[in-house]
Chains A and B, each alone.
Chain A
Amino acid sequence: METFKVKKGLDIRLQGVSACETAEAQPAGEYALVPDDFHGIVPKVKVKEGEQVLVGTPLFVDKATETVRFVSPVSGTVTLVERGERRKVLSIRVKPDSAQAYKTFEVPDLKTATAEEMCQLLLEAGIFAFLRQRPYDVVPTPGVMPKGIFISAFSKMPLSADFKYVVKGQEEDFKLGVAALARIAKVYVGICPEQAGTAVGEVADAEVNVFDGPNPSGLVGVQINHVSPVNKGEVVWTLGAEEVLFLGRLVRTGKTDFTRLVALAGSEVEHPAYYRCKVGQSLTALLETTLKPADHHVRVIDGNPLVGRKSNGFLGAHTTEVCVIPEGDDVNEVLGWIMPRLGELSAHRSYLSAFCGKKAYNPDCRVKGGERHMIMSSEYERVFPMDIYPSYLVKAIITGEIDRQEALGIYEVAPEDFALAEFVCSSKLELQRIVRQGLDILRKENA
């Protein structure tokens, strides 16, 4: 176990952090699996409307590598294959049965299983789809073995779910999940100092490292960069800590169970707490009963306010928290460039809020400025704890210089690594979108 001190970064405190208590969510009437949640694949639908599916039945597969299956989180009837422009598959909806029926998978012995056998299990049970591969931050290609599998067991993103709480009572599943992954490649688990000595920090079969520092020390990209950076030609996989629990349950029971403990957080939530949900669950019923009555517009974010997207009404595949904050498009603020604006969240010292540490803020979704060229220097660097020059990399992506992107380390990053930089950017550049596009273009070029 090694401890890495992460110095750069920024902790953002927001109102409405989830209390450590679990409430039961009302059963949802509909589930949707959204292909866009799994980046880098083209879906080929395997079911027809009206067809009966079990938990674990593939709803669609990847067109390029059909062994990568995306399986149903519930058993029931396929009600809709929603298509958009040019027949793009937007979602596949399933209406759940009252009693859940599971497809069972044959689990190889953890002590003797080969990497291929273990990959086969992950592919069949639909857990492989939850893996993400660097470079490119996409669903991995089966058969291309990684040099390591990285798991971050904490997040310091604002309003994010606390894995210390989520894992309570499921420590055994976490260990089993890690043990299963260790059959494929070396597993690295990143923990925060408070997790040292807990079951998660003492997991066998993996190299555990402590990351001590502010947000984004919990991002798996930062951890990879500190432990074993991705070189050109290398591949690493990452898996969310809660998705390791899926795998643990699969190994233990032979069944796919995509149940998560999701943090419902944000200033617009009456009692922020954790809810037991399943991947793809419709959020309508949950939000109806838990939000404060509001006279202004609100935004439901699938994920946290830094790494997340506007909710499409269903719980995303990788989502560990759902946040609800004011939208802000109905706010009109006068002379913002000179007013003291004491309540404004800012890391910039021209706002006094940068000096008063512990207060929790309630920002809305306004961009609060126009997009400009990159003007200030070192803004990104201050919150980017990786051995990379983020502003130079972003410029190389904007100008489309592929060789330079490679040289500056694009293979090591995912869009989420730029979330904090995007937050502090005074030029209001959409960094995560820029990096995403850069990665997609590079992947196409290298294919």
Chain B
Amino acid sequence: MIKEFFDKIRPHVEEGGKFHAFRSVFDGFETFALVPNTTSKTGVAIHDAIDSKRIMSFVVIALLPALLVGMYNIGYQNYNAAGVSADVMEMFLYGLVVMLPKIVVSYVVGLGIEFVVAQWKNEEIQEGYLVSGMLIPMIVPVGTPLWMLAVAVAFSVIFAKEIFGGTGMNIFNPALVARAFLFFAWPTQMSGDKVWVSTESYFGLGCQLPDTFTCATPLGEAAANVAVSASPAEMMFGLIPGSIGETSVIAIAIGALILLLTRIASWKTMLSVFVGGALVALLFDACGSTENAVAHLGVDHLWLGGFCFGAVFMATDPVTSCRTENGKYIYGFLIGALAITIRVLNPGYPEGMMLAILFMNMFAPLIDYCFVQRNINRRAKRTANR
């Protein structure tokens, strides 16, 4: 039945059809609805059932726990700040109402651009944005206006991905580029004490908070040399202010489990990020300046801010991370180490994960180069000794 439906539309979108401009959109939806039944022409006759659609879908599934807790936390922070008690459902619904427009804007703008590019280049639509489109709303503060989100998405899809040739060819993680773009274009909207709690009331859900309301993230508190007010349990469950998806360590751990079991993310990268972060955090704890509270958070660094989220979902992006197995250890380690270093030594902004990953994205090819070059040298030596 579904097949008949698509067969009926196909003539209209093919070359010369009335709606040829929508060919890429049609292709995209058709291949999502039906497994393409084109058969192999050269090489192997049989293929593994895996394709990039399934891989990307599984990353999105891995993101869902963090997203759901994030939505709940939006409500929790709002009601908590107002001092109003509400049941779990109410808090979650409020979070959903706040979050949904961000996800919609992210996908509509991002996929829209992908559709246009695919049509223009006469290619199939690439699924990479399915993940980026979910990541971007999850790594911004809840107070980010929708128009800013739209501009950032457009910027990152065009300048971080499409000009390099699309998914698989990009150097920087598109989601982080969007985040960095927002951060440098509108720093006051992206950090500080005002953006972490949703202050509006929608459809009778949530509470209207005063314009002067402020609430710092735990990292922000530490950066201001104030004692961190959140308890370890709150940090684990994610009931602290922060970017939407990054707060709950438990939800992220479930996602990590899915990614590691399916081997979509490399355990080498993920583990190394935590090892690198922990070592440097302990180092600062041991010999950091006593006047800098951030230096003395110790391994708490790993549960705060975007560290976990970055380590699990961003550092492991196969396209922008190292592609050699040994390189993954170095790449991950340096991300963790740099993130904590930035947090401790940079007075301007409490979080360092975003910049650490982007920085290492840039150096991943260099790390790979060293390992590939070793293989090349070995071969050259063998030839010379012949």
B291: interface (CB < 8 Å): no
Judging by beta carbons under 8 Å apart, are B386 and A367 in contact?
no
The digit string for A287-321, where 1 denotes a CB below 8 A from any CB of B, is 00000000000010100011111100000000000
B50: interface (CB < 8 Å): yes
B117: interface (CB < 8 Å): no
Query: Considering only CB atoms, which chain B residue lies closest to A418 in the complex?
Result: B43
Judging by beta carbons under 8 Å apart, are A332 and B54 in contact?
no
Contact of B38 among A231, A233, A329 (CB under 8 A): A329
Judging by beta carbons under 8 Å apart, are A333 and B35 in contact?
yes
Judging by beta carbons under 8 Å apart, are B382 and A363 in contact?
no
Judging by beta carbons under 8 Å apart, are B50 and A388 in contact?
no
Residues A375 and B55 in contact in the complex (CB < 8 Å), given A306-B44, A331-B37, A370-B31: yes
Judging by beta carbons under 8 Å apart, are B47 and A367 in contact?
yes
Complex interface: chain B residues within 8 A of A333 (CB): 34-35, 37
Complex interface: chain B residues within 8 A of A305 (CB): 44-46
B8: interface (CB < 8 Å): no
Which chain A residues (1-56) contact chain B, with CB distance < 8 Å? 12, 14
Complex interface: chain A residues within 8 A of B372 (CB): 389, 392, 408
Complex interface: chain A residues within 8 A of B382 (CB): 229, 231
Judging by beta carbons under 8 Å apart, are A430 and B325 in contact?
no
Interface SS majority for chain A? loop
Complex alpha-carbon distance, A221 and B305, angstroms: 50
Judging by beta carbons under 8 Å apart, are A369 and B43 in contact?
no
Complex interface: chain A residues within 8 A of B263 (CB): 348-349
Complex interface: chain B residues within 8 A of A375 (CB): 52, 55, 128, 167-168, 318-319
A376 to chain B, nearest CB (A): 5
Query: Considering only CB atoms, which chain B residue lies closest to A10 in the complex?
Result: B48
Complex alpha-carbon distance, A158 and B47, angstroms: 13
Complex alpha-carbon distance, A330 and B38, angstroms: 9
Q: Which stretch (A87-95, A109-117, A194-202, A339-347) binds chain B?
A: A339-347
Complex alpha-carbon distance, A243 and B2, angstroms: 51
A368: interface (CB < 8 Å): yes
Query: Considering only CB atoms, which chain A residue lies closest to B322 in the complex?
Result: A377
A171: interface (CB < 8 Å): no
What count of chain B residues pass the 8 Å CB interface test?
A: 59
Judging by beta carbons under 8 Å apart, are B325 and A381 in contact?
yes
Q: Which stretch (A65-73, A129-137, A247-255, A421-429) binds chain B?
A: A421-429
A215: interface (CB < 8 Å): no
Complex alpha-carbon distance, A384 and B58, angstroms: 25
Contact of B55 among A309, A347, A350, A388 (CB under 8 A): A350
Complex alpha-carbon distance, A369 and B38, angstroms: 9
Complex interface: chain B residues within 8 A of A12 (CB): 46
Complex interface: chain B residues within 8 A of A344 (CB): 49
Complex interface: chain A residues within 8 A of B126 (CB): 372-373
Query: Considering only CB atoms, which chain B residue lies closest to A351 in the complex?
Result: B49
Judging by beta carbons under 8 Å apart, are B46 and A346 in contact?
no
Residues A345 and B46 in contact in the complex (CB < 8 Å), given A338-B57, A381-B325: yes
Contact of B49 among A14, A310, A338, A368 (CB under 8 A): A368
A97 to chain B, nearest CB (A): 35
Complex interface: chain B residues within 8 A of A388 (CB): 375
Complex interface: chain B residues within 8 A of A351 (CB): 49-50
A5 to chain B, nearest CB (A): 18
Judging by beta carbons under 8 Å apart, are B168 and A372 in contact?
yes
Complex interface: chain B residues within 8 A of A346 (CB): 48-50
Judging by beta carbons under 8 Å apart, are B128 and A350 in contact?
no
Judging by beta carbons under 8 Å apart, are A233 and B383 in contact?
yes
Judging by beta carbons under 8 Å apart, are A336 and B49 in contact?
yes
A146: interface (CB < 8 Å): no
Most buried by A among B31, B318, B380: B318
Judging by beta carbons under 8 Å apart, are A378 and B57 in contact?
no
Contact of B46 among A310, A325, A430 (CB under 8 A): A325
Residues A366 and B383 in contact in the complex (CB < 8 Å), given A337-B32, A337-B51, A426-B48: no
Judging by beta carbons under 8 Å apart, are A373 and B51 in contact?
no
Complex interface: chain A residues within 8 A of B124 (CB): 370-372
Residues A366 and B53 in contact in the complex (CB < 8 Å), given A335-B33, A345-B48, A377-B318: no
Complex interface: chain B residues within 8 A of A330 (CB): 37
Complex alpha-carbon distance, A335 and B35, angstroms: 7
The 9 closest A-B pairs by CB, nearest first: A369-B51, A373-B168, A336-B35, A432-B43, A348-B50, A344-B49, A337-B53, A377-B323, A333-B35
Apart from A350-B262, A367-B36, A391-B323, 7 more pairs, CB < 8 Å:
A306-B44, A327-B39, A330-B37, A346-B48, A350-B55, A369-B47, A372-B167
List, sorted by A's number, 17 A–B pairs whose CB atoms are closer than 8 Å.
A231-B379, A231-B383, A305-B46, A331-B35, A333-B37, A345-B48, A348-B49, A371-B124, A372-B52, A373-B169, A375-B318, A377-B321, A378-B323, A389-B375, A415-B43, A422-B47, A426-B51
Residues of chain A whose beta carbon lies under 8 Å from any beta carbon of chain B? 12, 14, 158, 229, 231-234, 299, 301, 305-310, 323, 325, 327-338, 341, 344-351, 353, 363-378, 381, 387-389, 391-392, 407-409, 415, 419, 422-428, 430-433
